[in-house]
Every structure is written in C-alpha cells, then in structure tokens.
Amino acid sequence: MLTLEGKVAIVTGGTRGIGKAIVKTFVNLGAKVALNYRKSSKEAEELMNQYNKDEKKIIAFQADVANFNQAQEFVKKVIDEWGKVDILVTNAGINWDGVIWKMTEEQWDRVIEVDLKGTFNYIRAVAPYMREKKYGRIITITSINGLRGKFGQTNYSAAKGGVIGLTKAAAKDLGKYGITVNSVAPGFILTEMGESMPEEFKQLAINESALKKAGKPEDVANLVSFLASDLAGHITGEVIKVDGGQYI
C-alpha cells in the first residue's frame, strides 16, 4: 500500500502547478510538508488554510532556491519544527527562453542558478541529516528537454541535463546511507505555464506524444509519491519520464 504516513517532506516551488499537486498528494498520503515560495505568498497561505485545520500539516517559508544560505536555513527550520526530513523534492524551476545567438548572460545565469544550483543547494542541505539517520528519499524534477534538448531552450536544457547528472552522482554518494536519489522528467504538462502557451505550441507538444494528450500535474505527483515511499526502496539513480510517449 502506498503511504507516506509519518514522513516529513520538503517540496521546493510548492505553491503552483506540479509542485502544488505534489504537496497536496503528499499530505493526502499522510505526510507533513514544508514548502518554499519566492513570490506566491497568497497561494502558500491558501494551502495552509486548506490543510491545517486540525493539525499543522503544511508549513511555508519564503526562500530563493538559488541562495545557498537560505536553503540551509530552510532545512534547519523544518528540523526545528518537525525533528527530521525524510523526503526532498526539488521541484522549483524557471525557464527564460531564447535562441542561443540572442540569449543574454542574465538569461543563462538565472536559469542555471535556479534550476541546477537550486537543486544542488537543497540536496546539500538535507544530505547531512539523511546521512545521519541512514534514510532518505530525494526526487529531482528534470524535463524531457534535459534529455533531448529543445530549440530556444539552451539554458533550460543545459540546466535540466545537469540535474540528471547531479541526480546520478548524488545517488552514488548517498546510496550506502540508505538514501535513494531519482529524477522525474515530465513532458508537456498542463500547468498554469502550459495553459498560457499559444494554442499552436500546445498542439505541437500534444501531437508529439504517443497518447495525443497533455499530462496533468497529478500524473507527475503520483510518480513522485511512489518514489518517495518505502515501496521504491530499491530504485535509485533513475530518470523516469512522465510524458505520454512524447520523448519516443
């Protein structure tokens, strides 16, 4: 039976889209969840109001995942609140697209800082606690475009490709301490960002997939929940696509 009862999780970027679906699924499976946000304080408040009626199941802190020290402080606050961290999901990410001959240094640096360095920052912050306990589940969120590259997304594809390498190396570093590290690679998912795309681009992505439909945030959350559970205790260093066959 899939359950996260008694587990404490951190989900970065947990107020919208895939991150929000992960937070809600985790809580429904019995976990307590700490999430960060950078600007979405209203959305964080709504989640806490929804789930914290009988007991504190969600806590939220403002933090920029690209800031190393803020990641350390965030994890310490969670330890102070709930005494442990069992699960980490590094979901926070941005894209700032542009063809390579027009891409600015700022576009490159910011996407790498948030998507790749942000993933490192939180794995680095939780690793000592999980290593001491000899238990942990770390799930990074990459993208099928980190596996294949995409026109106009050199920064995003590079960052998400880096997340895959980071995941595999961290799995080797941490495996002997009972910590699994896996990555989930979504294809086109109908988040707020996906909904705002021009219709022609949405249809192109849908036509790429074998199932001829867009994914839902819950499709990703369901796989993340499995990897976060004890049912996935012998899976590590893997990259699993949730794309309806878009990559093939």
Q: Any idea where the domains of the chain sit in the sequence?
A: 8-242
- Between CA 101 and CA 109, with CA 104 as vertex, the angle to 5 degrees is 125
Q: How far apart are CA 169 and CA 134, in angstroms?
A: 18
What the block records as the tokens of 129 is 């606690």
Stretch 17-43: mean pLDDT: 95
Which amino acid, one-letter code, is at 47? L
What the block records as the tokens of 245 is 């066959």
Please indicate, yes or no, whether the overall pTM of this predicted structure exceeds 0.85.
yes
The two beta strands, 32-37 and 58-62, are: parallel
pLDDT in tens, 72-109: 999 999 999 999 999 999 999 998 999 999 999 999 99
pLDDT confidence of 39, banded at 50, 70, 90? Answer: confident
**For domain 8-242, which CATH number applies: 2.30.110.10, 2.40.50.100, 3.40.50.720, 3.40.50.11440?**
3.40.50.720
Q: What is the CA radius of gyration of the chain?
A: 17
Q: How far apart are CA 82 and CA 34, in angstroms?
A: 10
Q: How far apart are CA 160 and CA 133, in angstroms?
A: 29
Compute the mean pLDDT over every residue in the chain, rounded to the nearest whole number. Answer: 96
Stretch 203-231: mean pLDDT: 97
The answer to whether 156 is a known catalytic residue is yes
Instruction: Point out the catalytic residue in the list 122, 135, 156, 247.
Output: 156
What the block records as the tokens of 195 is 């909904």
The reported pLDDT for the residue numbered 40 is 80
φ, ψ of residue 59 in degrees (nearest 5): -125, 150
